[in-house]
Amino acid sequence: MDMGLAGRTALITGGSKGIGLAIAEMLALEGCHLHLVARQQADLEAARDKLLSIAKVDVHVHAMDLAERCSAARLAAQVPQIDILVNNAGSIPRGTLEEIDEDRWRQAWDLKVFGYINMSREYYRLMKARRNGVIINILGNGGEALDAGYIAGGAGNAALMAFTRALGGQSAKDGIRVVGVNPGPVATERLIGLMQKEAGTRFGDPSRWQELEKGFPFGRAATVEEIASTVVLLASDRSSYTTGTVFTIDGGMVNRGSLI
């Protein structure tokens, strides 16, 4: 299905791997020009090469740490003309209140929570001046099914859910849409690595990691393509009346009252 995105420009943070790269691939196939942001230049260059091999679009990469103050403002000054912002950078570690000390908590929130807020602030201003744009925040279902063993992540995602709904609830007057996506477990390299480690601990064999998926809905984690497909739809004019809401893609995990 043609989503009508050809010729538009998207900026994706955390765009060199995982969900971010899958989103970039789908947008590239729709004809979107891309700006990818991540910390590691080598990963960005590999992502750029992959994208250029599948689509005839412009791909620019920006190696920077969005946890640093003023980084969002610097990026917006370098790349002011975008139609779609996908905030996707950052992950927050599991752990209880006792296990996650202040330094780890602040470090994680500086990238994901404040990084999303700062990027949204900079690009909302630019989009408002043109009265057009879409901001999509990739969050996580931990903000809905709260777990004391993931307290920093759950609190951060819940805060970003409130931020997304509040900003998107009034953004229509400025010609902007703001939406969120809450993935559950997604089969990224990071998740597979964590499950291999757990399988090694539990079974003595990292190769048995897929046995840990049995407790997931449908007996598996989501694919990155399943998340990316929703993001592309939300970025398109086919979702032109959608703002101020968050879509959860977790196979119903939140509604069964458990994240495991």
pLDDT tens-digit series, residues 115-148:
999 999 999 999 999 999 999 999 999 999 889 9
- Segment 249-253 shows an average pLDDT of 93
Instruction: Give domain status of residue 209, yes or no.
Output: no
Instruction: Give domain status of residue 132, yes or no.
Output: yes
In sequence order, which ranges of the chain are alpha helices (DSSP H)?
A: 18-29, 41-54, 71-78, 102-111, 113-130, 151-170, 189-203, 224-235
Instruction: Give domain status of residue 40, yes or no.
Output: yes
- The candidate with the shortest Cα–Cα distance to 62, out of 30, 89, 35, 22, is 35
Alpha carbons 67 and 72: distance in angstroms, whole number: 9
The total domain count for the chain is 1
45 pLDDT band, cuts 50/70/90, is very high
**Count of residues in the chain:** 260
Question: How confident is the model at residue 197, as a pLDDT?
Answer: 87
Instruction: Give domain status of residue 230, yes or no.
Output: yes
- Choosing from 123, 124, 150, 241, the catalytic residue is 150
- In the chain, the amino acid numbered 118 is N
Q: Is the pLDDT confidence value at 190 over 70?
A: yes
259 pLDDT band, cuts 50/70/90, is low
Instruction: Give domain status of residue 202, yes or no.
Output: no
Alpha carbons 128 and 100: distance in angstroms, whole number: 38
With 0-12 / 13-18 / 19 or more C-beta atoms within 10 angstroms meaning exposed / middle / buried, residue 179 is buried
Active site residue 124: no
Q: Could you tell me the CATH number of the domain that includes residue 110? A: 3.40.50.720
- The candidate with the shortest Cα–Cα distance to 177, out of 124, 247, 228, 139, is 124
Name the residue range of residue 56's domain: 9-186+222-247
